[in-house]
Amino acid sequence: MRDTNTHGKRADSRFSRLSLVIALSASALSASALLSVAGVAHAAPAKDPLPADIPDYQAALDAVKSTDVRNAVCRFLRTPLPTGSGADGPVQTLPETTEPCQGLPLFTIKDPVARNEITPGFVAGTAKPLPTEAVKLTQLVSSLSVTVNGRNATVMLAPTQGGGWHLAAIRDGDGDATYAGKATLGTLVFTEPQIRGWYQLKLTTVEPLNDEARQGLGGQASVSLSDYQNLVKARYADKLPGSQYDVNGYSSGYSTQRKPDGASSSPLLLAGGSSAALALAGGAALLHRRRRPATG
């Protein structure tokens, strides 16, 4: 049985955090923006028992507490780390087992938190430097309550068409969930996935949370949201879908300083199909050329 009082307080905190960031950042830019954004924020029920900034949150809770997701995590934890180099390494198919969690230490999967990313419009420069237009919720992430055999894992949920959430992948380590959970009252946390950078947005000020983000800001301790938009526009605006970069077949991220193949790889357990078939692959986000099927 969930502690409804504790969960309600946590939900109110998440709602207040998002509302405060939106209202204050809008106020910093213009009074008219404040009125329009505050109107939207106040339209949401202030005492909603679930986070107002995460749609269908109960479905997300049900997913991470389900037997299917727990079994998937256990299969992941039982699989040795791959020895291949990054995304080009071998893919391992995980066999189905009747009791995948048998013999493993007891663990729980924490409540999921929002994983926000910068939006294409913000990168292209067509969106205003406002929190509501600069970042969007793309996934939910959860980590484990304890390490299991010296490992942790991040459960990644993706939105299901028509509503709800489903298991998208399980990643080794708990970095995404740790950084995403750093959002506080009056701040938003988001990622620039192309360089694995994590940032905190305070009013209209962007601050780095990890080394990749600090490199992305050129070593600066903070920049305005408008200046940050100029930085990502310079990095990616010519690489968006439909650009010559995309047409030429390049994908899978961008690195401000290329590392050796596999240096930043993160084992990723992909879940797909109704039979929950699982595959293990490297998750490096370095720049590489996408292979296209031969034609003619």
pLDDT digits (tens, 9 = 90+) for 196-247: 999 999 989 999 999 999 999 999 999 999 999 999 999 998 876 554 444 4
Residue 174 sits at the vertex; the CA angle it makes with 209 and 229, to the nearest 5 degrees, is 35
pLDDT, one tens digit per residue, over 157-183 is 999 999 999 999 999 999 999 999 999
Helices 31-43, 4-29: crossing angle, 10 deg rounding: 160
The 8 Å CB, 24+ separation contacts for 237-244 are: 237/123, 237/124, 237/125, 240/120, 240/123, 240/124, 241/120
Q: Is the pLDDT of residue 53 over 80?
A: no
Task: Provide the β-strand partners of residue 135.
Answer: 118
Give the mean model confidence (pLDDT) for residues 122-149.
Answer: 95
More confident residue, 87 or 52: 52
More confident residue, 54 or 278: 54
More confident residue, 10 or 68: 68
Give the mean model confidence (pLDDT) for residues 4-11.
Answer: 47
Tokens 């070593």, located at residue: 219
Lowest mean pLDDT among 62-76, 150-164, 260-274: 260-274
Tell me the one-letter amino acid at 220: Q
Q: What is the pLDDT of residue 39?
A: 35
Q: Is the pLDDT of residue 129 over 60?
A: yes
Give the mean model confidence (pLDDT) for residues 43-68.
Answer: 75
Can you tell me whether residue 246 is helix, strand or coil? helix
Nearest to 147 by CA among 168, 113, 116, 178: 178
Q: Which run of H or E residues covers position 289? A: strand 288-289
**Residue 257 · residue 215 · CB < 8 Å:** yes
- pLDDT band of residue 4 (cuts 50, 70, 90) is very low
- Which tokens go with 120? 């294409």
Give the mean model confidence (pLDDT) for residues 257-279.
Answer: 40
Q: How far is it between the farthest Cα atoms of the chain?
A: 64
Task: Provide the β-strand partners of residue 48.
Answer: none
* DSSP 8-state secondary structure symbol assigned to residue 163: S
| Alpha carbons 100 and 94: distance in angstroms, whole number | 11
Lowest mean pLDDT among 221-225, 264-268, 282-286: 282-286
Give the mean model confidence (pLDDT) for residues 128-138.
Answer: 94
Give the mean model confidence (pLDDT) for residues 261-269.
Answer: 44
Give the mean model confidence (pLDDT) for residues 141-150.
Answer: 95
Lowest mean pLDDT among 2-6, 27-31, 115-119: 27-31
Measure CA of the first residue to CA of the last residue in the chain; give whole Å: 61
Q: Is the pLDDT of residue 261 over 50?
A: no
Q: What is the pLDDT of residue 278?
A: 36
| Alpha carbons 293 and 296: distance in angstroms, whole number | 10
Cβ-in-10-Å burial (0-12, 13-18, 19+) of 186 comes to middle
- pLDDT band of residue 92 (cuts 50, 70, 90) is low
Give the mean model confidence (pLDDT) for residues 128-137.
Answer: 94
The pTM of this model reads: 0.69
Q: What is the pLDDT of residue 203?
A: 87
Residues 6+ apart with CB under 8 A from 83: 89
Q: Is the pLDDT of residue 26 over 60?
A: no
